[in-house]
Amino acid sequence: MSRKASGSLENRAGFCAIIGRPNVGKSTLMNHLVGQKIAITSKRPQTTRTRIRTVYTDERGQIVFVDTPGMQQPKNRLGHYMESAAEGVLKEVDVILYLVEPGSYIGPQEEEIIEMLKSLTTPVILVINKEDTASKEKLDATEQAYSERLDLERIYRTAALKDKNTVALLEGIFHFLPYGENFYDEDTVTEETERSIAAEIIREKALRLLSDEVPHGIAVEVVSMKERGRLMDIDATIYCEKTSHKGIVIGKDGRMLKRIGTEARKDIEDMLEMQVNLKLWVKVKKNWRENEGILRALGYDMRKL
């Protein structure tokens, strides 16, 4: 099929935000929609901390996706940053994907999101994700419960993890985008830098491998990234909040840190398509989630939202 020029009258291009409570599968869905893993995912709530833009392009035009942190009551300054990152984007997009899990009970957190969506004029597509985990009756009941509470332009049932119904969802999103030229060239998949993706990959491994309260107090900074022939040397620091957490991150005989490093290295090598030499350090920054200066230094900058 021949590709239409991006400037053609029929080309659609616009922005689509993905919002919802923590852990409903927003980042998993976005990765599957663009066909590449950009945003990190985990079974822990509050995995995503910033807005992450990715780009999907085909002969119909271009969708710029904005993945957001899961919406919930903030407990610290980092939480406030995350909340603003999620809410602030809603007025700037052409269409909103509101992700929920199967279930007809609408709790207080969900109510807050619904009230916020009601105050906007942006079209909302409800996406009931994780459909693989629920019966048809439960999915029907979910659909009915949300339709009664909110004006929904469309409703889709997806299993992001299994790529189910993502093609239909893309078609639905294009419908709400304005006609116009693409924002990015057709090869662009994300605006994120390799450096920040590498830091996120390391954080993902820490989230997945560590248990209990430690992972939420972790931040990762890639200190340097230098190419040496066909090898990339990467130095990164894992910050945690307490000395006792530092011990857990390092593990007995350094085993935990080694596992985090090995798993992260493999993924970073896949991303960069080159061999990587990854060195990790662990440092304590007490209470960093409350410290404006440190938050900024780590890329959680309120002023840049």
The Cα 175–Cα 170 span in angstroms is 9
Helix (H, G, I), strand (E, B) or coil at 80: helix
Minimal distance in Å, beta carbon 82 to ligand GTP? 9
What's the N-to-C CA distance of the chain in angstroms?
39
With CB under 5 to 8 Å by kind, the binding choice for 64 among Mg ion, ligand GTP, none is none
Among 159, 173, 220, 256, binds ligand GTP (CB under 6 A): 159
**Quick one: 14 or 69, whose CB is closer to ligand GTP?**
69
Interface positions, 64-83, toward Mg ion (CB under 5 A): none
Angle between helices 243-250 and 255-272 (to 10 degrees): 70
Minimal distance in Å, beta carbon 241 to ligand GTP? 19
Place of tokens 């999103």: 173
166 scored as a contact of Mg ion (CB under 5 A)? no
CB 109: neighbour CB atoms within 10 A? 15
The Cα 161–Cα 288 span in angstroms is 33
Q: Which residue is nearest to ligand GTP (CB)?
A: 70
With CB under 5 to 8 Å by kind, the binding choice for 260 among ligand GTP, Mg ion, none is none
The Cα 240–Cα 228 span in angstroms is 30
Residue 143, token pair as written in the block:
């659909």
* Residues ≥6 apart with Cβ < 8 Å to 185: none
28 scored as a contact of Mg ion (CB under 5 A)? no
With CB under 5 to 8 Å by kind, the binding choice for 247 among Mg ion, ligand GTP, none is none
* Residues ≥6 apart with Cβ < 8 Å to 273: none
The Cα 271–Cα 251 span in angstroms is 27
Q: Are 212 and 244 in contact (CB under 8 A)?
A: no
Interface positions, 31-70, toward Mg ion (CB under 5 A): 47-48
132 scored as a contact of ligand GTP (CB under 6 A)? yes
50 scored as a contact of ligand GTP (CB under 6 A)? no
**Quick one: 45 or 74, whose CB is closer to ligand GTP?**
45
Specify the stretch interacting with ligand GTP by CB under 6 A; choose among 22-30, 58-66, 137-145, 242-250: 22-30
Minimal distance in Å, beta carbon 44 to Mg ion? 10
With CB under 5 to 8 Å by kind, the binding choice for 23 among ligand GTP, Mg ion, none is ligand GTP
Q: Would residue 250 be called left, alpha or beta, if left means φ above 0 and alpha means ψ between -120 and 50 degrees?
A: alpha
| Separation of CA 202 from chain center | 15
Minimal distance in Å, beta carbon 83 to ligand GTP? 12
With CB under 5 to 8 Å by kind, the binding choice for 159 among ligand GTP, Mg ion, none is ligand GTP
Contact residues for ligand GTP, defined by CB under 6 A: 22-28, 41-43, 45-48, 69-70, 129-130, 132-133, 159-161
Binding residues for Mg ion, per CB under 5 A?
26-27, 47-48
